[in-house]
Every structure is written in C-alpha cells, then in structure tokens.
C-alpha cells in the first residue's frame, strides 16, 4: 500500500498543496498539523509508522515535512528500511535513499532542513528581542471592548484611529469590525 504523509506546523497553514501533489500517487494520505521539531510529539506519524508493512511505500512531498532534524530523519529512514518499507520524497526526484549515494543526499538534505529550522527560530527570537526592546507588547492581544469600538466607529473614527486610541493592533480592530458588521 502507498501512504502519503503531509504535515504543516500551524493551524494558519493548510496541507492543500501537499495533498494536490500526493493525489493519485498514494492510496491514503495522513495529515498532521504539528511542529516537525520532534517525531515524539507527532501522533499521526506514529500511527502511520505502526501500521506500515513490508512492501508498503511512504511518499512525502518534501523532506522537511517528515523531519526537521537529522537524527529523526535518519531514524525514520532506518526504521522503514528494517520494515521493508520504501520511502520516497517528491523533491528528491528519484533518489533511492537506501543506496549509498541516496543516503548521503538524504543526510545532507536532512541537515539543511535542521539548519533552516534553527535559523528560523533565531530570526524569530531576534525579532521578538527587537520588538521587546522597542517597547512593543508581545503575546496575546488584550481584550478590547466591542461596545467601545462600535461607539468610536459611530463617532467617525477609522480603524487606525481606533487602534491607536485603544492601544491595540489594526488587525484586532478589523476582526472586531467584521464581527460587528456580521451581527
């Protein structure tokens, strides 16, 4: 049996592109919305690994969808090889990751995925530190009174003016205005 594995990191993302790429290539697609940091916290991947049998194939669109660190990538590949399950990545074309050269390519690509994840984290940490140093509030948006927003809107203020007066983001005011208009 051919299984597809599709993963995104957050609820704001979707697996549609991966689904389109896997469509017609696999019998079943396993979807997951969770960080790729560790395979231990990925229940759908764990279920997939548990149901695989000799002769099955796992197809993933890109290596970083399966693993974001080299150790996990190599452990998954080793486990699948032991089970007699083929592993194929659409972005690695037709590289057989169980061959000597394929294993090298796979390891290098897994290392790059791990480095990329670390660099993203570093950039996010730097951005948060700069925002904090600039006095910007981080974290959850504060509660804003819908009644106040409605009154300010009625008094002729626009979204930007309301956000400044209530010390919140324009997005927060925009979300409230959509709710008010829908009600």
One of 9, 35, 99, 111 is an active-site residue; which one? 9
Clarify whether 9 is annotated catalytic.
yes
- C-beta of residue 57 within 8 angstroms of C-beta of residue 2: yes
Active site residues: 9
């Amino acid at each position: 049996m051919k299984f597809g594995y599709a993963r995104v990191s957050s609820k704001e993302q979707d697996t549609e592109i991966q689904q389109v790429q896997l469509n017609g290539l696999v019998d079943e697609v396993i979807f997951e919305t969770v960080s790729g940091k560790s395979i231990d916290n990925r229940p759908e991947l764990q279920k997939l690994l548990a149901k695989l049998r000799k002769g099955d194939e796992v197809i993933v669109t890109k290596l970083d969808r399966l693993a974001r660190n080299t150790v996990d990538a190599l452990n998954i590949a080793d486990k699948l090889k032991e089970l007699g399950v083929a592993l194929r990545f659409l972005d690695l074309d037709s590289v057989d990751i169980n061959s000597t050269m394929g294993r090298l390519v796979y390891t290098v690509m897994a290392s790059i995925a791990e480095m990329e994840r670390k660099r993203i984290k570093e950039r996010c940490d730097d951005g948060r530190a700069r925002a904090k140093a600039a006095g910007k509030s981080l974290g959850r948006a504060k509660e804003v009174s819908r009644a106040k927003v409605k009154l300010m809107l009625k008094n002729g203020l626009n979204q930007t003016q309301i956000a400044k007066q209530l010390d919140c983001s324009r997005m927060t005011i925009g979300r409230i205005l959509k709710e008010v208009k829908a009600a």
